[in-house]
């Protein structure tokens, strides 16, 4: 067989196979070598190697260097060395001349082309998806609020952090631009986010590609702040710049001064340079005296919204004279930079009372002078307040300890009524619109909790006592009118001393020229009541409380009343008024307590820091709060977006009401439980209050106007609601109240069947809802919705949806209450964790 490859190049290959002759294989290769010697300059040569073996006869083209072989033809026919004949060829002779010849089959090439096209298509798709994702991401993070929403949705930052970040000005434009230097606004944003959540900060830098500095840069910013004990230089520098900026706007910076100490862990520690842990009061550490407390001084803006610690001192104990010296030094330093201080707030231990006397004020009830003269400006007054929260706790302690307090007119104020109300609510299983529980009665293990005292001195407890006496006529509440009046009077005064919203109503409204008269009447009535309180002494003599060792809450409240009126006259009624109203919460010590809480939280599981840990946390907090024009002394409310789902859509899905057919009780069915038809008058009163809360929640979910209007009615308002209503309570209609009554009867049947224990089976809520729907199916609960039912399909019947939603909400409230009651029974008020934790902090262990 002959095959001619290329006639022009005069190269031919001939393969001859002679099988009949018995020759296994032979190749005759004829090569015209004339073309080889015609090329004088060839970088490479190709040698054709012929093999004369009869097993296999390959034809190989080997490239080699010209310098090694030259331009000659080498024939090697040595039987000992090998069986090869080597002939040099031009490189373009065979392979380059026959470029159309390939070694792979067309199918293989086609598969490779298809594979390459598929890879290109996948890469293009990925590129398109990534481009679309980047576009959507840029659209989502086009504003600062969108960034905070994403971080908050992923639970990387808290609500407080989100509100602070949203309040920063000038950040969005800089946040999405790469830059080498950082402005003050961007520094403030970065330090705030990194302080609250380093994880959220790393997430924002990685996923949003924002122009945020590296965490090491933030640590370098922190290291530039000195956090040594004494007056904090960076705080005064920030205050000075802030005052100058406000003066350009024609405004003056008005602040209140707070003083309190925080117990720290007694420990000495070596940091590589020196030993920390000793007392340090700005004059160097005092050897051999270990610090047990950190005394912190803070300023809170009255006409703005920020706070800032200005100094701290490591102490073991400090008398009143030394504390007075520190306060005078603070007032002089603040006066030098242009900050006007109008008040001093502290709690009521003996050292602080001695400090107040040393400064020039007098809190004696017979000759009270609740202010002292400013040490740097004798024309200004510094009004003294004993923290109202501490005073409320002390008054609760006196009330529960002596059991009986005698008013000036001889009426008795008894702690017994509070205990009887708690017993009644525990026995009935429902509370009459108050938060009274075992922790309020046995408060000794949680004496530092302010809310336990505030919830006892509340109008809700007073309304419950009055309702039990006048409407239910229970004998154990007979004669509780004096106690009710005492609770309401103290509650009103405490609300006046804690007004924090400029749009507040009632006693929680700010003090303005319009509300001044009402506030004056409230404070004078409370002062008269506190002055006339008497207790029975050890020798059965009736003595005034202000003349005994329990006088601190009496002195403190009256001093607060006088100081608040004095501050109002200096700031609002003065001819050169600096404020339009006065928010008394700005004078509270809560700001400093929250600062201490943040310091303890910096240690993670260690909430009892030593000196070095306190110093590090203080440095971070000061850097975080050094701001221009903004601060975090008040937490702002989060306004939720109303659901815009059309009314024709099943509104039950927004409450996650599981279809009742899918869930049933595991043990017994509702129909097999004992029948409970009648509810006591007490339970009906409690249910009416709960129903009002359910109506409030349902109105936030329902977008159908007729259904929303059917939930309330001004007819037949329950007496308890009329007694407690101050303008904000919802008045439920009879139909929604009947649904809650039916749900409560189901609960009573379950409790009776389980011998008073909480139901444990799955699907309790769904089974109760199904039974309530069955019981109410034949009743015309909402007459105004009779024609409205037929405006939509059967499965979207709004009447049935309202019944299901109301019953599900009631089940949620009742089951949560039952679980809490069971927990209280298990503990029996004998928990000591919180008590021991507080003792550990105080002892410094």
In this prediction, residue 262 carries a pLDDT of: 92
> Are 713 and 732 in contact, with CB atoms under 8 Å apart?
yes
Same domain, 341 and 430: no
Higher pLDDT, 434 or 104: 434
Rounded Cα distance, 831 and 820, in Å: 15
Helix axes 144-153, 198-207, angle to 10 degrees: 120
Check residues 572 and 21 and name the one with the higher pLDDT. 572
CA–CA separation, 731 and 734 (whole Å): 10
pLDDT attached to residue 490? 96
Distances (CA, A) of 101 to 105, 206, 697: 10, 53, 82
Contact 730, 674 (CB under 8 A): no
| Span 284-330, pLDDT tens digits | 555 578 889 999 999 999 998 889 999 999 998 888 988 998 999 99
CB 545 within 8 A of CB 535: yes
Taking the C-alpha atoms of residue 372 and residue 384, their distance in angstroms, rounded to an integer, is 8
Same domain, 615 and 669: no
Phi, psi (rounded to 5 degrees) for 468: -65, -30
Query: Which range (143-152, 252-261, 270-279) has the least confidence?
Result: 143-152
Question: Of the ranges 85-94, 593-602, 730-739, which one carries the lowest mean pLDDT score?
Answer: 85-94
Domain boundary among 191, 222, 253: 222
Q: Are 233 and 337 in contact (CB under 8 A)?
A: no
Residues 804-812, mean pLDDT to the nearest whole number: 90
Residue-averaged pLDDT of the chain: 77
Domain shared by 272 and 325, yes or no: yes
Instruction: Let me know whether 700 and 814 are in one domain.
Output: yes
Three-state DSSP state, 400: helix
Burial (CB < 10 A; 0-12, 13-18, 19+), residue 367, is: exposed
* Alpha-carbon span 162 to 179, nearest angstrom: 24
HSE, side-chain direction, 13 A CA sphere, residue 783? 3
Q: Which residue has the higher pLDDT, 667 or 713?
A: 713
pLDDT for 269: 85
Q: Are residues 147 and 296 in the same domain?
A: no
Q: Is 540 in contact with 495 (CB distance < 8 Å)?
A: no
User: CA-based angle 528:533:538, to the nearest 5?
Assistant: 160
The DSSP secondary structure of 23-46, one letter per residue, reads: ---EEEEEE-THHHHH----SEEE
pLDDT band of 348, cuts 50, 70, 90 = confident
Does the structure show a pLDDT above 90 at 420? yes
**Residue 506 covered by a domain:** no
Highest mean pLDDT among 346-355, 620-629, 768-777: 346-355
Rounded distance, CA 253 to CA 337, Å? Answer: 10
**pLDDT score of 200:** 77
* Same domain flag for 780 and 743: yes
As a residue count, the chain comes to: 845
**Which residue would you say has higher pLDDT here, 110 or 385?**
385
Q: Is residue 48 part of a domain?
A: yes
Angle, helices 798-827 vs 764-776, to 10°: value is 140
pLDDT of residue 48: 41
Whether the pLDDT of residue 34 is over 90: the answer is no
Give the angle 587-588-589 at the CA atoms, nearest 5°: 125
Instruction: Indicate whether 706 belongs to any domain.
Output: yes
Q: How confident is the model at residue 823 (pLDDT cuts 50, 70, 90)?
A: confident
Residue 178's domain comprises 141-222
What is the pLDDT, as a whole number, of residue 540?
A: 82
Which structure tokens are listed for 353? 């009372």
Q: Which of 149, 193, 200 is nearest to 638 (CA)?
A: 149
3 state DSSP class of 495: helix
Report whether pLDDT(73) > 70: no
In this predicted structure, what is the pLDDT of residue 129?
Answer: 86
DSSP assignment string, 300-367:
EESSSS-EEEEEEEEES---HHHHHHHHHHHHHHHHHTTPEEEEEEE---HHHHHHHHHHT-B--TTS
Sign of CA dihedral 302, 526, 446, 315: positive
pLDDT for the residue 68: 41
- DSSP secondary structure code for residue 715 in this structure: S
In the predicted structure, residue 621 carries a pLDDT above the cut 90:
no
Q: In 10 A of CB 790, how many CB atoms? A: 9
Q: Which of 652, 732, 725, 657 is nearest to 690 (CA)?
A: 732
Q: Which of 101, 132, 153 is the last residue of a domain?
A: 101
CA-CA-CA-CA torsion sign (147, 151, 152, 157): negative
pLDDT of residue 160: 58
pLDDT score of 40: 41
Same domain, 168 and 35: no
Whether 706 and 809 map to the same domain: the answer is yes
Percent of the chain with pLDDT over 90: 31
537 pLDDT higher than 50: yes
Same domain, 317 and 343: yes
DSSP for 267-289? --EE-SS-EE-EEESSS-EEEEE
3-state percent breakdown (helix, strand, coil) of the chain, nearest 5: 50, 15, 40
Position 647 scores a pLDDT of 34
Sheet with strand 26-31: strands edge to edge: 2-6, 11-16, 26-31
CB 460 within 8 A of CB 433: yes
pLDDT band at 662 (very low <50, low <70, confident <90, very high): very low
Q: What is the dihedral of CA 253, 256, 257, 260, to 10 degrees?
A: -140
What average pLDDT does the segment 802-813 reach? 90
Q: What is the pTM of this model?
A: 0.67
Give the tens place of pLDDT for each residue, 432-450: 989 999 889 988 888 888 9
Does residue 636 fall inside a structural domain? Answer: no
Task: Report if residue 259 sits inside a domain.
Answer: yes
CA distance 433 to 414: 21
Q: Do the strands 340-346 and 254-263 form a parallel or antiparallel pair, or are they unpaired? A: parallel
Average pLDDT, stretch 14-34?
A: 41
Share of the chain above pLDDT 70, in %: 70
At which of 543, 559, 575 does a domain end?
Answer: 559
- Shared domain for 302 and 354, answered yes or no, is yes
- Grouping H, G, I as helix, E, B as strand and the rest as coil, residue 690 is helix
Beta bridge partners of 255: 301, 341
Determine, yes or no, domain membership for 724.
yes
Burial classification of residue 678, based on how many CB atoms lie within 10 Å of its CB (0-12 exposed, 13-18 middle, 19 or more buried): exposed
447-486, pLDDT tens digit by residue? 888 999 999 999 999 999 999 999 999 999 999 999 999 9
How many domains are contained in the chain?
Answer: 5
Measure Cα distances from 774 to 526, 539, 671, 686 in Å. Answer: 54, 66, 11, 24
Record the tokens describing residue 293, joined without a space.
């407390």
Residues 548-584 have pLDDT tens digits of: 999 999 999 999 999 999 999 999 988 888 899 999 9
Question: Residue 122 falls within a domain, yes or no?
Answer: no
Same domain for 466 and 327: no
Please give the C-alpha separations between residue 699 and each of 150, 707, 712, 735, 802, in angstroms, as whole numbers: 27, 9, 10, 15, 11
The phi, psi pair for 3, rounded to 5°, reads: -140, 120
Residue 411 belongs to some domain of the structure? yes
What is the distance between the alpha carbons of residues 597 and 591, in angstroms, rounded to a whole number? 10
Give 326-330's long-range contacts (Cβ < 8 A, gap of 24+): 326/295, 326/297, 327/257, 327/259, 327/297, 327/355, 327/359, 328/359, 328/375, 329/231, 330/231, 330/257, 330/297
Radius of gyration of the chain, Cα coordinates, nearest whole angstrom: 43
State residue 19's pLDDT score.
38
State mean pLDDT over 403-418. 94
Q: Which residues make beta-bridge pairs with 259?
A: 297
- Count CB-CB contacts under 10 A for residue 672: 10
Answer yes or no: do 379 and 406 share one domain: no
């Amino acid at each position: 067989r002959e095959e001619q490859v290329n006639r022009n190049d005069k190269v031919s290959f001939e393969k001859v196979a002679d099988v009949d002759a018995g020759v296994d294989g032979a190749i005759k290769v004829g090569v015209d070598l004339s073309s080889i010697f015609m090329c004088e300059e060839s970088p490479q040569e190709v040698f054709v190697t012929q093999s004369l073996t009869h097993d296999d006869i390959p034809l190989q083209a080997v490239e080699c260097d010209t310098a090694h072989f030259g331009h000659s033809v080498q024939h090697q026919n040595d039987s000992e060395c090998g069986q090869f004949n080597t002939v040099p060829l031009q490189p373009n002779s065979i392979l380059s001349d026959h470029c159309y010849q390939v070694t792979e089959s067309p199918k293989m090439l086609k598969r490779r082309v298809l594979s390459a096209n598929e890879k290109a298509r996948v890469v293009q798709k990925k590129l398109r998806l990534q481009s679309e994702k980047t576009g959507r991401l840029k659209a989502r993070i086009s504003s600062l609020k969108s960034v905070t929403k994403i971080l908050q949705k992923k639970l990387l930052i808290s609500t407080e952090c989100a509100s602070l970040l949203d309040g920063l000005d000038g950040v969005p434009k800089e946040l999405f631009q790469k830059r080498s230097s950082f402005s003050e606004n961007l520094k403030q944003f970065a330090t705030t986010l990194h302080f609250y959540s380093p994880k959220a900060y790393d997430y924002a830098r990685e996923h949003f590609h924002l122009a945020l500095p590296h965490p090491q840069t933030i640590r370098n910013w922190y290291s530039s702040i000195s956090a040594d004990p004494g007056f904090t230089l960076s705080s005064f520098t920030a205050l000075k710049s802030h005052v100058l900026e406000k003066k350009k706007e024609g405004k003056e910076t008005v602040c209140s001064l707070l003083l309190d100490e925080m117990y720290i862990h007694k420990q000495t520690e070596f940091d590589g340079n020196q030993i920390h842990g000793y007392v340090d009061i700005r004059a160097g550490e005092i050897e051999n005296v270990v610090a047990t407390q950190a005394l912190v001084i803070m300023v809170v803006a009255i006409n703005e919204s920020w706070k800032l610690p200005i100094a701290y001192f490591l102490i073991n104990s400090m008398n009143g004279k030394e504390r007075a010296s520190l306060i005078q030094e603070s007032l002089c330093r603040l006066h030098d930079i242009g900050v006007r201080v109008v008040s001093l707030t502290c709690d009521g231990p003996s050292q602080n009372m001695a400090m107040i006397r040393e400064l020039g004020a007098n809190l004696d009830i017979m000759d009270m002078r609740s202010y002292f003269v400013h040490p740097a400006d004798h024309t200004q007054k510094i009004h003294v307040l004993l923290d109202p929260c501490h005073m409320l706790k002390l008054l609760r302690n006196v009330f529960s300890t002596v059991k009986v307090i005698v008013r000036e007119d001889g009426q008795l104020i008894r702690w017994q009524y509070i205990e009887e109300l708690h017993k009644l609510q525990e026995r009935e299983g429902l509370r009459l619109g108050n938060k009274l529980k075992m922790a309020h009665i046995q408060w000794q293990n949680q004496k530092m909790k302010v809310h336990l005292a505030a919830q006892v001195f509340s109008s809700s407890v007073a309304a419950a006592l009055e309702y039990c006496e006048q409407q239910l006529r229970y004998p154990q509440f007979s004669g509780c009118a004096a106690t009710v009046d005492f609770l309401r009077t103290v509650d009103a005064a405490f609300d006046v001393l804690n007004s924090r919203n400029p749009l507040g109503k009632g006693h929680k409204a700010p003090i303005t020229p319009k509300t001044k008269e009402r506030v004056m009447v409230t404070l004078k009535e409370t002062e008269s009541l506190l002055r006339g309180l008497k207790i029975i002494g050890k020798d059965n003599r009736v003595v005034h409380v202000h003349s005994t060792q329990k006088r601190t809450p009496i002195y403190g409240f009256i001093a607060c009343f006088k100081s608040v009126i004095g501050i109002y006259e200096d700031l609002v009624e003065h001819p050169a008024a600096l404020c339009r109203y006065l928010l008394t919460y700005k004078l509270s010590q809560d700001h400093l307590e929250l600062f201490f809480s943040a310091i303890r939280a910096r240690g993670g599981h260690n909430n009892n820091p030593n000196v070095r840990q306190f110093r590090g946390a203080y440095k971070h907090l000061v850097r975080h709060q050094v701001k221009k024009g903004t601060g975090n002394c008040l937490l702002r409310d989060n306004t939720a977006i109303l659901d815009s789902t059309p009314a024709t859509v099943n509104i039950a899905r927004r409450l996650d009401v599981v279809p009742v057919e899918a869930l049933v009780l595991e043990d017994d069915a509702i129909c097999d439980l004992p029948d409970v038809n009648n509810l006591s008058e007490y339970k009906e009163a409690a249910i009416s209050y709960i129903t009002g809360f359910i109506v409030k929640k349902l109105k936030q979910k329902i977008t159908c106007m007729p259904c929303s209007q059917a939930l309330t009615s001004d007819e037949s308002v329950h007496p308890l609601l009329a007694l407690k209503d101050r303008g904000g309570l919802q008045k439920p209609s009879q139909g929604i109240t009947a649904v809650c009554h039916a749900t409560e009867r189901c609960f009573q049947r379950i409790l009776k069947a389980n011998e008073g224990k909480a139901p444990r089976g799955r699907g309790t809520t769904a089974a109760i809802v199904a039974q309530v729907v069955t019981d109410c199916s034949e009743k015309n609960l909402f007459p105004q919705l009779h024609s409205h039912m037929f405006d939509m399909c059967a499965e979207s019947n709004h009447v049935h949806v309202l019944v299901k939603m109301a019953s599900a909400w009631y089940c949620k409230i009742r089951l949560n209450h039952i679980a809490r009651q069971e927990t209280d029974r298990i503990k029996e008020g004998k928990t000591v964790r919180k008590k021991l934790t507080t003792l550990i902090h105080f002892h410094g262990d």
